[in-house]
A and B are shown apart, each in its own frame.
Chain A
Amino acid sequence: MNNNLIKIYSSPDCPYCYTVKDYLNQKGINFEEIDLYEEPEKRKEMEEISHQKNIPVLVINNEVVVGWNKEKIDELLKKYGFI
């Protein structure tokens, strides 16, 4: 198991954030959640990392997935040994 942290920038009412978290939970993968509602000051960091403004933003080993994109997430989880 790769021990590097996975990060997700999310907000509580965002359905795609919910789906990404639900997917990682189903796979038993730990992640750090940054709730932009609770920590609005982190929005700038999210925009710099992803070069855009929409969420969810998932960061796996410095690679970014914007939105709920199962194929891309699977690809990166495999690439970095999470699955």
Chain B
Amino acid sequence: MDLYDLIIIGAGPAGITAGIYAARKKIKTLLITKDFTGQVGLSWKIENYPGFKQISGLKLMENLKNHLKEYEIEIKNFEEVKQIVKDNNYFQTITNENKYLARTLIIATGALPKKLAIKNEKKFLGHGLSYCLTCDEKAFEGKIVAVIGGGNAGAEAALELQKFCPKIYLLEYLENLTGDEILKEEVLNSPSITVITNAQVLSFEGEKELEKIIFKDRKTNKEKEILINGCFVEIGTKSNTEFLEGLVELNEKKEIIVDPKTMVTSVKGIFAAGDVGNFNQKQIILACGQGALAALSAYQYLKTLK
């Protein structure tokens, strides 16, 4: 089994930044990832990452990946870590294809969009329902669409859809939209976006193609419907920590509990960074900073082992 000083799991902003920092410290590093797009790749446009006034998530990920590849770092792309076993002073990292051994780990597996899990969701996936705005928005040109989820991602989706769609419903479960003020203002001032709050979505309906969304108005407890041709879902994310159950401490949201001073987890030698951690704010720029800090802490920790 190959032995590394450090294995980084995940190649979002946190994992890639950790990789760059580790490579510059000449740590023998392996980066294992399922893909190089992740959650950021789903973002239509990013306007709060310094140095780029506006950039698509996919383009930013491509830039980060190319930057990483400038360095001497071993990468296993399209491999998924299934389990980690603590083996004396080493961590055995088991993927769907191989096993690797490391002295330290940085977990940067991020989070992925939550699914709704409501009636007829599977039936209409690809028939009006999509979880990827940047993939499928052009299929709804000139149509009436809904976006479920009134956070930043939902607001951005609704604003983006204005370009192609005459009418957009934005449905939020809570009493108010929850995103950045600048986005809320833009959404509320848009003549083509109708915001419906207190909306608990119950089901998708239609014959072959999606035709309507049934939801409960949480204030009046009455069922209502809207007629639409398409729907995008942006209801938040879920941390990718299933393979860590029983190894490191997780909070009730299944995020890794991390010491923000060093990024160390409840297990000595395992660090975590980015959206997989129990940080209140999930931002690309913060994930990068956490990745850098995790790599520097891993470097300091490795020095104590030698």
Question: Which residues in A have some Cβ–Cβ distance to B below 8 Å?
Answer: 11-19, 22-23, 26, 36-37, 40, 43, 50, 52-56, 66, 68, 70
A13 touches B37 (CB 8 A): no
Q: List 6 A-B contacts (CB under 8 A).
A: A19-B35, A26-B78, A50-B126, A53-B128, A54-B132, A68-B35
Closest B residue by C-beta to A43: B139
B77 touches A56 (CB 8 A): no
B77 touches A22 (CB 8 A): yes
Please give, as numbers and ranges, the residues of chain A lying within 8 Å of B61 by CB-CB distance: 15
- Residue from A17, A23, A66 within 8 A of B126 (CB atoms): A66
Q: Is B130 an interface residue (CB 8 A)?
A: yes
Question: Could you count the A-B residue pairs with CB atoms below 8 Å apart for me: how many are there?
Answer: 69
- Residue from B36, B56, B132, B138 within 8 A of A22 (CB atoms): B36
Known contacts A15-B42, A52-B126, A54-B130; is-contact A22 B135 (Cβ 8 Å): no
Please give, as numbers and ranges, the residues of chain A lying within 8 Å of B169 by CB-CB distance: none
A-B contact sample (11 more), CB < 8 A, given A15-B132, A70-B78: A13-B44, A13-B56, A13-B134, A14-B132, A14-B135, A15-B38, A15-B41, A15-B58, A37-B138, A43-B139, A54-B130
Please give, as numbers and ranges, the residues of chain B lying within 8 Å of A37 by CB-CB distance: 138
Q: Is B57 an interface residue (CB 8 A)?
A: yes
